[in-house]
């Protein structure tokens, strides 16, 4: 039997250590590069990933790790059974490089494709979101809940955009449709924080297509805080829902169906007009 509370304590301590490294790295000056000529990456992304990777290997040598910088080739592991760590060392790299505070370390622990523990730590804001499956979610130790908003016109909705610009026209159609019906839209720049902010009620709902490490931990946190989590078009290829990042929706429950319908309608319009 895996002791999930021990895993949570380990992940929490690790996320804080990673957070201190991130804060120090920014104080020393950020050096940026591009992955595949597209995605921004800094020396801190790699250093923090190596730190987290090393600590997990030391403590749990038999566990698999899917982390953005150190082992993205292990993407195949999204299908695996058994223990799997899913890690984004810095979620919000563009914010990190531009001296903005919305930056997070995201660490999820999964068993047989289901998230068991999630930690999202925002070191510049001193906010740490934690969940253990079945035990609820907390922010800095205090229980959190979704907003419970029921009126879409009063909802504050978040989304994001990929580094690859090809899908942008379709995403703008979605944005126009959603923005036309809600109070306003935010693009915070960290999917993990977007989702944790839904979990604690600063935002009412979120939609985007992301990678497993962007949302695995935050999705558990949101679900434990009462959010409804799903996909606009369901899940393909037998990938566990908790790791399938295409067209995810995470929402205060009463807003979910309407948000899903708006995104789908926007996609249909895009198909007809283009
Ligand atoms: C990005 C952030 C952003 C989302 C992008 C992600 P990164 O992660 O989560 O909010 O819109 O799709 O790639 O590159 O900062 O780790
Ligand atoms: Ca990310
Ligand atoms: Ca990242």
Q: First-to-last CA distance in the chain?
A: 54
Note the pLDDT of residue 187.
98
* 1: confidence class by pLDDT, cuts 50, 70, 90: low
| Ligand 1 site, residue 210, Cβ cutoff 6 A | yes
Q: Which residue has the higher pLDDT, 71 or 238?
A: 238
| Ligand 1 site, residue 93, Cβ cutoff 6 A | yes
User: How confident is the model over 48-65, as a mean pLDDT?
Assistant: 94
Of 220, 192, 225, 217, give the one whose Cα is nearest residue 206.
192
- Which residue has the CA at smallest separation from atom 16 of ligand 1? 91
Residue 42 has pLDDT above 90, yes or no: no
Residue 92 has pLDDT above 80, yes or no: yes
CA of 92 to the centre of ligand 3 (A): 6
Q: Alpha carbon 96 to chain centroid distance?
A: 16
Domains of the chain by start residue, with CATH: 4-143 (3.30.540.10), 152-273 (3.40.190.80)
Note the pLDDT of residue 78.
63
| Ligand 1 site, residue 88, Cβ cutoff 6 A | yes
Which atom of ligand 1 is nearest the CA belonging to 189?
A: 10
CA of 65 to the centre of ligand 3 (A): 15
> What helix, strand, coil percent values describe the chain, rounded to 5?
45, 25, 30
| Ligand 1 site, residue 190, Cβ cutoff 6 A | yes
114-122 and 156-159: which strand pairing? unpaired
**pLDDT digit string (tens) for 9-40?**
999 999 999 999 999 999 988 787 787 667 78
**pLDDT digit string (tens) for 71-87?**
655 554 566 789 999 99
* 41: confidence class by pLDDT, cuts 50, 70, 90: confident
**pLDDT digit string (tens) for 181-201?**
999 999 999 999 999 999 999
Which atom of ligand 1 is nearest the CA belonging to 39?
A: 14
pTM (2 d.p.): 0.96
156-159 and 184-186: which strand pairing? parallel
Is the Cβ–Cβ distance between 232 and 249 less than 8 Å?
Answer: yes
- Which of 74-88, 107-121, 222-236 shows the lowest per-residue confidence on average (mean pLDDT)? 74-88
Report percent pLDDT > 70 for the chain: 94
DSSP state of 141: T
Ligand nearest to the CA of residue 35, numbered in listed order: 1
Ligand nearest to the CA of residue 68, numbered in listed order: 3
Which atom of ligand 1 is nearest the CA belonging to 96?
A: 15
Which residue bears the tokens 């597209």?
A: 38
- Pair of tokens at residue 60: 């749990």
- Which residue has the CA at smallest separation from atom 2 of ligand 1? 190
CA of 203 to the centre of ligand 2 (A): 19
| Ligand 1 site, residue 214, Cβ cutoff 6 A | yes
Which atom of ligand 1 is nearest the CA belonging to 210?
A: 12
Q: Across all residues in the chain, what is the average pLDDT?
A: 93
Q: Which residue has the higher pLDDT, 238 or 209?
A: 209
User: How confident is the model over 122-148, as a mean pLDDT?
Assistant: 98
Distances (CA, A) of 193 to 58, 74, 122, 188, 237: 28, 24, 8, 8, 27
């Amino acid at each position: 039997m895996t002791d999930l509370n021990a895993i949570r304590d380990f992940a929490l301590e690790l996320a804080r250590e990673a957070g201190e490294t991130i804060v120090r790295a920014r104080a020393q000056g950020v050096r940026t590069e591009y992955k595949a000529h597209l995605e921004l990456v800094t020396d801190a992304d790699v250093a923090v990933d190596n730190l987290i990777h090393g600590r997990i290997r030391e403590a749990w040598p038999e566990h698999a790790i899917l982390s953005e910088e150190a082992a993205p080739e292990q993407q195949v592991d999204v299908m695996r059974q058994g223990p799997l760590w899913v890690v984004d060392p810095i979620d919000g790299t563009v914010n990190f490089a531009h001296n903005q505070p919305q930056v997070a370390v995201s660490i999820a622990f999964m068993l047989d494709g289901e998230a068991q523990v999630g930690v999202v730590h925002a070191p510049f804001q001193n906010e740490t979101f934690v969940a253990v499956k079945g035990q609820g979610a907390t922010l800095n130790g205090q229980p959190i809940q979704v907003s419970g908003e029921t009126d879409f016109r009063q909802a504050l909705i978040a989304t994001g955009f990929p580094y690859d610009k090809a899908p942008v026209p379709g995403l703008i159609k979605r944005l126009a449709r959603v923005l036309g019906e809600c109070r306003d839209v935010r693009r915070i720049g960290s999917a993990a924080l977007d989702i944790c902010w839904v979990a604690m009620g600063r935002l009412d709902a979120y939609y985007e297509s992301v990678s497993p490490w962007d949302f695995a931990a935050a999705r558990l946190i949101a679900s434990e805080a009462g959010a409804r989590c799903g996909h606009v078009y369901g899940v393909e290829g037998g990938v566990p829902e908790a790791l399938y990042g295409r067209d995810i929706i995470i929402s205060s429950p009463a807003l979910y169906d309407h948000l899903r319908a708006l995104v789908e309608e926007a996609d249909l319009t895009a198909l007809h007009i283009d």
